[in-house]
Amino acid sequence: MNDNLKNQEAEELSLREMIEQYTRYWYFFVIGVLIALVLAFLYLRYTPQLYQSKATIIIKDEKTQSPLEMAAFSQFGSFLSRFKTNQIDNELAIFNSKRLISETVKELQLNIKYEVMGNIKTSELYGYRPFEVKFQSFDESFVDPIPVLYFKMLSESEFHLESEPLNISTNYSFGEQISLPFGVITVLPNLDDAEKFRGYKNKTILVSYNSVETVALRFQERVNILNTDAKSNVVELSIQTQNREKGEDFLNELVRQYNKDAVQDRNEIAKKTSAFIESRLQIITRELDSVETNKEDFKSTNRLTDIQAEAQITLENASEFNKRQLDVSTQMELSNTMIDYMKNADRDELLPANIGISNESVGSAVNNYNELILYRNKLLQTSTPKNPVVKSVNDQIAQMRSSILESLENSKNALRIAMKDLNMQENIISSKISQVPAKEKIFRGIERQQTIKEQLYLFLLQQREEASIALAATADRAKIVDSAYGPQEPVSPKKSLIYLGALLAGLLVPFGGIYSFNLLNTKVKGRKDVERHLKSIPIIGEIPKVQKGDSDLIKHNDQSIMAEAYRIFRTNLQYLFINKLEKNEEGKSLIVTSTIKGEGKTFVAFNLALTLALTGKKVVLVGADIRNPQLQRYLPEHLKAKKGLTEYIVYEDLQVADVVAQSEYNENLNIIVSGAIPPNPAELLMQKRTSTLVEELRKQYDYIILDTAPAMLVTDTILINKLADITLYVVRADYTDRRLLDFAKDAIEDGRLTNVAMVLNNVALNNFGYGNKYGYAYSREERSLLKRILNKQ
């Protein structure tokens, strides 16, 4: 149960420490969020906003073919089915064609861009413009890009034009023709709204000209045309532009240009049909005039008045037969006419439609043939005859033309057989009316020819009127469901997402920085790092980092954080001596060492000596680091050359008093410097005189502190460790690598270092366990608000 509680507490401490790694730098997160939000604001302020405009249309179906027609043309039914399936895709391709978009750009003059210059960015002018630049003429041979023209309105009649590439900076009058290297322009003022016009005075307005093709390609990349439902003909058009009104105008004009293009295609068929009917009417009119003249001459010559009254009874029985014979003759005439036209006409021309041929399959095939011709012509506008798609369509056209001719020939042969049968029946009827005079027979033939020509003439007149009506009343191909519209709010950039992203970035960047720093930083940061590696070794002192401008030595009546830390260090040391030495009345010896150079062992040793001396105890500080002496920097200049530990060991006639120097910082503190640097430091420290010195010092002083060499670099400290009651092992925060603590752990476990206690030096105040962190200190110094926020001394 106790083990579970300990594990739970350890996990809670580990989680709390992890959180504290970031919360102690909370001001970085606040600053990061503020900077990110400011950057987001500036980004939103100066990034062009994009508005989305949408339009919805329905593409109308062509006249649906009946099952009978489809059965009649089953030989190319697969193509017709594929053509019907791909109809919407073809129309979408037309919508997104460069040709149609170029017409839209040209109609709206989108290739001429007007912008007003601001303090930081320029904004496009669309809708109201204070003036309009008319390009009266343009030199197509001008190769260089058209430079931007800078206009500034001076008054309602005058403006200033400037262009550095063209070396122009001149005042002009509105309406004046201006000759430029690329052409002639005229600037016309827009005075419809005088107040708006005056608002643009003295503002710089940029006018840039681009080719229609270049602008069309840009719009072609941005416009999105989508068939929302494969089962329907509903098409949605959308585009994103910096100006919502511009996007709406573009989509509406694109639909209008599409309808205009579709109407032109249908009118072309109607015009071809009308021309064919007119040519046939002229022929039929001449033939009808000839028949009527023959009838008149026949009656005049033979003095006939009402021959039919004589054969009324016989003719009534044959009336139904005559009607059939008349219909067959008419159809034969139309079939022959259509065949002659197809043989004589160019293969790329459209065929006349709806001329009265009773064979409905032929009429349907002609309509499909004309649609295929138009489709081929549109492909040729954007490709060459060598294009595989164009070749495929040409093959299909040839196939359909051959099929139509074959169907007409078959229809003509069927009519010829029917006529032959009718002629046989006519002979039978003629035998029954043999009593009718020969003149009646001749007259009847003339009337029959007249009737045929009259019916054909009336039929062609009717078809001409229908073609004229179709030409005048051609409906739009695209029915507008919703005209172009768009929301008032821009679709990009989205403020909420930008601010949310900025907020997350403002938090994540400091978090990532701190995480990366902690991940890559292998230095000891605080007490917890030492405790994790050396769990059984006590930490009896935490020495705060010396702040800039503060003294690094403990003074009499010192009330600083450092002085209080050394007092706590001294108290913990006293309790450690009680546990270790019990009632030993002799002086207590300490060794101060570290792992490597630079961890502050001399600094800690000297301040510890001062702190102990402040209690009235006699303290001696021995410079046992005879390889790299550092203790002499705490002595006055005249004592730095005094004999020290090295001389005492070498010269046996020297006494303790000969090497002891009085410290100027405290009367209870004496110092024995290292002396001259010997060639054999390790062997020298192994001499008996070293232990003799410590024994002598125990009799004269309450505390003997030996400042030794780094334990990992040299063996000196290991050799004299037995002379110390306590070994103080100094670790410097933000300097000592955590991996070096493994050396101290191994040395303690192996017994090379005994009675070890850890001292953590150079601890930052935000990692410091005492003093101002909890608002309790002797110091009364006033700190600035920023220092109090950042918890800095």
Peptide bond into 493 cis (omega under 30): yes
Place of tokens 């900025």: 502
H-helix or E-strand containing 204?
strand 204-209
Give the CB-side neighbour count of residue 291, counting CA atoms within 13 A: 20
CATH 3.40.50.300 positions along the chain are: 527-790
Rounded Cα gap, residues 35 and 301, in angstroms: 115
Q: What pLDDT is recorded for position 432?
A: 58
**Whole-number pLDDT of residue 188:** 92
pLDDT at residue 75 in the model = 44
Q: Is 365 exposed, middle or buried (0-12, 13-18, 19+ CB in 10 A)?
A: buried
User: Angle CA(159)–CA(162)–CA(165) in degrees, nearest 5?
Assistant: 160
β-sheet bridge partners, residue 55 = 237
Q: Dihedral of CA 388/390/396/401: which sign?
A: negative
Amino acid at 690: T
pLDDT at residue number 618: 95
Successive 10-residue mean pLDDT values, the chain, 793 residues:
51 68 86 92 84 88 44 42 61 86 90 85 85 83 78 89 87 90 89 84 88 89 85 86 88 89 76 76 78 72 59 62 78 81 76 75 81 80 78 82 83 82 75 60 73 79 72 70 83 86 91 85 86 88 83 83 90 80 71 92 93 93 89 81 88 90 91 90 89 92 93 86 92 91 90 92 70 46 49 44
Write out pLDDT tens, residues 607-657.
999 999 999 999 999 999 888 888 888 888 777 778 889 999 999 899 999
Alpha carbon distances (Å) from 686 to 502, 590, 647, 675, 756: 66, 18, 14, 16, 21
Angle between helices 495-520 and 2-23 (to 10 degrees): 120
C-alpha torsion angle, residues 747, 751, 753, 755 (rounded to 10): 130
Please state the three-class secondary structure of 293-322 as a single string.
HHHHHHHHHHCCCCHHHHHHHHHHHHHHHH
Give the whole-angstrom CA distance, residue 157 versus residue 191. Answer: 10
Give residue 554's region: left, alpha or beta (phi > 0; psi -120 to 50).
Answer: beta
First to last CA, the chain: 43
Given a contact cutoff of 8 angstroms between Cβ atoms, the answer to whether 601 and 637 are in contact is no
| Alpha-carbon distances, residue 368 vs 260, 350, 770 (angstroms) | 21, 11, 95
Report residue 356 CA to chain centroid gap: 60
Structure tokens at 107: 């109609």
Q: Where do the H-state alpha helices sit in 356-473?
A: 360-382, 388-432, 438-472
Q: Measured between alpha carbons, how far is 621 from 630 in angstroms, rounded to an integer?
A: 12
pTM score, whole prediction: 0.57
Contact by Cβ (8 Å): 793, 564: no
Residue 150 three-state SS: strand
Sign of CA dihedral 521, 525, 529, 533: positive
778 contacts: CB under 8 Å, gap ≥ 6? 559, 560, 563, 564
Q: Reply yes or no on domain 527-790 having CATH 3.40.50.1980.
A: no
With beta carbons less than 8 A apart as the criterion, state whether 240 and 50 touch: yes
Which residues are 464's β-sheet partners? Answer: none
Amino acid, res. 663: S
Exposure string for 679-712, b = 16+ CB within 10 A, e = fewer: eebeebbeeeebeebbebbbeebbbbbbbbbbbb
| Integer angstrom CA distances of residue 564 from 575, 711, 760, 763 | 17, 28, 15, 14
Sheet holding 51-59, edge to edge: 224-227, 234-241, 51-59, 478-485
- H helix and E strand count, the chain: 24, 21
> What is the per-residue pLDDT across 420-479, written as a single tens digit (0 to 9) for each?
887 787 777 666 566 456 666 676 777 777 788 778 878 877 777 776 776 665 667 778
Report how far residue 554's alpha carbon sits from residue 562's, in angstroms, rounded to the nearest whole number.
8
CA distances from 276 to 335, 350, 351, 463, 474 (A): 14, 11, 9, 11, 19
- Please, what sign has the CA dihedral across residues 88, 93, 96, 101? negative
CA distance 704 to 668: 12
Distances (CA, A) of 183 to 132, 174, 773: 16, 17, 78
3-class DSSP state of 455: helix
Is there a contact between 96 and 251 (Cβ–Cβ < 8 Å)? no
What CA–CA distance (Å, rounded) separates 745 from 735? 18
